[in-house]
Amino acid sequence: GRLAADQDAESLAFASHLHTRLDECTRMEETVNKVEAALDTLRGDYERVGERTGGVRMACGVLQTRQGRLAQMAGEINERLDVYGSLGPITQFFNAPGDSVCMDPEFLPSLERAERALEFIEAHKDARDSELYAMRFAQCRSRALTLIKMHAQREFRRLGAQSNTNSASSEHVRVRAAATRLRPLLMALQQRGTEIHTNAVQVLADVEASYFQMRRIWLHAHVPQSLQSIEKEHTDEAAVLRDWCAFVMGVCADEGRLYAEFFGISSGKGLRAHEDMVMHVFYEQVRPRIIREAQVDVLAALCLTLLAYQRPNESNEPVEPGEPGELEAFYAVVGAVLEDAQQRLAFRAQAFVRGEITGYRMSADDAQAAVQWIRSVDSDDLADHWEYPPVQRLRWLVAQISGCVDTEVQHGLTDEALAACKQSIATHGARTVRDSVRGDADAEQLAHQFVTCSMTLADQAAEPDQTHYGGLNTGSARFSCDLPV
């Protein structure tokens, strides 16, 4: 019975425990239901807040759009106010007294402000009083460009009045110092001179004219003095011409660099005309010397000197960047002088052929020397001991003109000289040799042998030495006799 009582007690305890757990689950279920109800309430509130937030966001977008338009309108209004408000200060600045307005750090920025204002007004021509403001700002721009011109011209006049013809280096240092000060202004003028502003084009032309006038003041004295000084240093015409060419080439290059330091470019019509003036002085000095020169060897040396200074792309030499623009005037005049020298050389070569080959008359001593030469001649060395003077002069002439003139002209002169030489050999030479041994049984044979050997030497003499000079063939032999030309 005790065992059964213990089992019943145990069952009652377990049942009580189950009832306790059931009550806890009931309470938890009630709590969960309350939480779900609260979540449903929050979900509804969230949805209502989301709907209202979307409306607020849309309203904010509309307000931001309106704010952007208002900001843009405010910017445009401020820009117009700045444009119209800047007229007074800019006008006052450009009309300030004194000669140093251009050197004020605010000068170029003020000019740019005036031009921007003018562009703005021209883009808004429907604005009130736009024509009046456009005219006033255009006047400010013209006033600024005129100030640049006046300041530059004053500087150029000062530089011209203080020119030092005795020292090229000190003159260049002084001018380059002025270029450092004027370059920003002239660069601004150069930039506007390439645009549509017609007044800027004229102002730039006036400034360039003043600059070149300043340079001419110095060059008109410096170039002739330097050419005369170089001439006194040499007795050789070719050496004088060589140093003259080097000098004027350096002058043209220096003028191009100086112009670039002032205006920012190294070429232009004004610069070319300026360098033409320098080269005109050179041409007036050189051409008379060539025209009055009668010696063939001197003319040949002059031609070779000029060929060394001809245009690089004509002598197959590399062209330095920018060089043709700077030295175009130099190369043009050197080419013209070279043509004069080559024509003079061809003329004097023809005169040499007529006077010294065709006009040659064999003396009795030469006739005896010719006979002795023929009787002792070695077929392996025809020119041993003696040579018919016209053949010797032919060889000398061919060596002189080789490489100095065009190939066609050179061949023509050589053929003319060779024909004259052979004519002299066949007629005058043969007859003189025959007469000098008149009465000898072998007179005709000696004359024939003289003609044969001399003709062979003449053909050899007509072939120039293959010595290269600047891509051209030049002869190196010289005629040793003192010949009148």
CB 398 within 8 A of CB 464: yes
pTM of full prediction above 0.75: no
pLDDT digits (tens, 9 = 90+) for 60-88: 888 888 888 888 877 766 766 676 777 78
CB 263 within 8 A of CB 212: no
Q: Phi/psi of residue 474, each to 5°?
A: -130, 145
CB 306 within 8 A of CB 238: no
Task: Please enumerate in sequence order all residues whose Cβ is within 8 A of that of 353, keeping only pairs 6 or more positions apart, or say none.
Answer: 397, 413, 416, 417, 420
- For 471, left (φ over 0), alpha (ψ -120 to 50), or beta? left
Confidence of residue 315 (pLDDT cuts 50, 70, 90): very low
Q: How far apart are CA 480 and CA 483, in angstroms?
A: 9
Q: How far apart are CA 137 and CA 119, in angstroms?
A: 10
Average pLDDT over residues 332-344: 95
* Cross-strand bridge partners of residue 468: 473
pLDDT digits (tens, 9 = 90+) for 166-190: 677 788 888 888 888 889 988 888 8
What percent of the chain is predicted at pLDDT more than 70? Answer: 86
Confidence of residue 475 (pLDDT cuts 50, 70, 90): very low
